[in-house]
Structure 1
Amino acid sequence: MKIIPLILVTLFLLGCDEKPATYDECILEHMKGVKSDVGAKLIHKSCYEKNKKQTTPKEIKQLGVKERLNLIGRASLGYSNYYSGNIYNGNESITVTELKVKITTVDGKKESSRYYISNVNIPPLTSKSFGFDIILAGNGSEYSWAISSAKGYEVKQP
């Protein structure tokens, strides 16, 4: 039966005194030779649990103007009412965890703005997608966006 090797792998991972430094290193180290989806899921769960504390930031802070200016990207209204885009985090030591985005709509001569929050995980010098549902204006309305604020945490450099 294949269940016994999976249980042994799980017990091995849970019982290790020395853990890899990160979740990614744990996955890379323990996935070698795994040929079962069930085994892969168990390893994923075990590595996640072992590294959960370390991947949870201790101090999430509001990013300053200079740090926020290092966030650049593009976004637009997609299908239905989903506004999405891609952000590049140009900060060298900050992981971005939240974007507060101001969506402005122009419907004829009427202009209105709303704020939306998107939870993200954008490591330093990395580009990632973001998105959220919005309330649509009338047909033919034009939409623009801007990052009004952002939150994140310092990443310790090795």
Structure 2
Amino acid sequence: MKIIGISAAMAVAWAATAQANAFDDCVLKNMQGATSDVAAKSIKVACIRKSSVTLTDDDLKGLKVSNGFYGTFGMMRTPGFTAEVKNNTGFIVTEITFAITIGDGPAEMYRVDNFNYQEPGVIYTGPAPDPTFDMRIDPLKSKKFQFEMDRREIEKKKKWGWSLVGAKGIVSQ
């Protein structure tokens, strides 16, 4: 009987310290009415967007961009950028804003909220089973991704640069 009491007390203590994040709460609240996989996936996508908050300038310092280049990707040879971001923040990153400059022109802001990477030579036959997989960069992880942006001036050997100027994410527990 003492073992059951001790186990129950430990379970209550563990439950009291376990906390869901805003995304988890949103999914739990809204998933009750879901009657199909399509509905469930739509709820998760809506919750990831609804639960994201703007990262502070201090938090942005925890995001490191590397291996960036401009080129084409995919079977359709889509023009755009490839980047890799290391997330050293306490957030699940759900959106990144880049400032991209070409030559002496003004910075163009570009928001990325899909961190998909099309591996060269691989043919994809459909969307990922869980669309939110491509909508997040988890804490202490790196993710390589591509985003479409047709800037043919870069191909004509114009200098270009970019910087990460904003991000959103979900607090990770």
TM bracket (short chain): 0.5 to 0.7
Q: 1:116 deviation in Å?
A: 0.8
Q: Distance in 2 between matches of 1:116 and 1:73?
A: 15
Higher strand share: 1
Q: Distance in 1 between matches of 2:172 and 2:47?
A: 11
SS at match of 1:81: strand
Q: How does 1:5-154 map to 2 (within 5 A)?
A: 49=40, 56-57=47-48, 59-74=51-66, 75-79=68-72, 81-91=79-89, 93-106=90-103, 110-119=104-113, 120-138=135-153, 139-154=156-171
Q: Distance in 2 between matches of 1:127 and 1:147?
A: 15
Deviations 1:117-156 (A, max 9, x none): 1114101101012322223153121111101100001012
> Does the CA contact (< 8 Å) of 1:77 and 1:143 recur in 2?
no
Q: Distance in 2 between matches of 1:102 and 1:81?
A: 17
> Does the CA contact (< 8 Å) of 1:118 and 1:130 recur in 2?
no
Q: Distance in 1 between matches of 2:70 and 2:161?
A: 9
TM-score normalized by structure 2?
0.53
Q: Distance in 2 between matches of 1:65 and 1:95?
A: 16
Tell me how many residue pairs correspond in the alignment: 109
Q: Distance in 2 between matches of 1:136 and 1:49?
A: 37
Deviations 1:3-32 (A, max 9, x none): xxxxxxxxxxxxxxxxxxxxxxxxxxxxxx
TM-score normalized by structure 1?
0.58
Runs of 5+ consecutive residues of structure 1 not aligned to the other structure? 1-44
> Does the CA contact (< 8 Å) of 2:92 and 2:171 recur in 1?
yes
> Does the CA contact (< 8 Å) of 1:62 and 1:150 recur in 2?
yes
SS at match of 2:60: helix
Q: After TM superposition, what 4+ stretches of structure 1 lie above 6 angstroms from structure 2?
A: none
> Does the CA contact (< 8 Å) of 1:102 and 1:114 recur in 2?
yes
Runs of 5+ consecutive residues of structure 2 not aligned to the other structure? 1-36, 73-77, 114-134
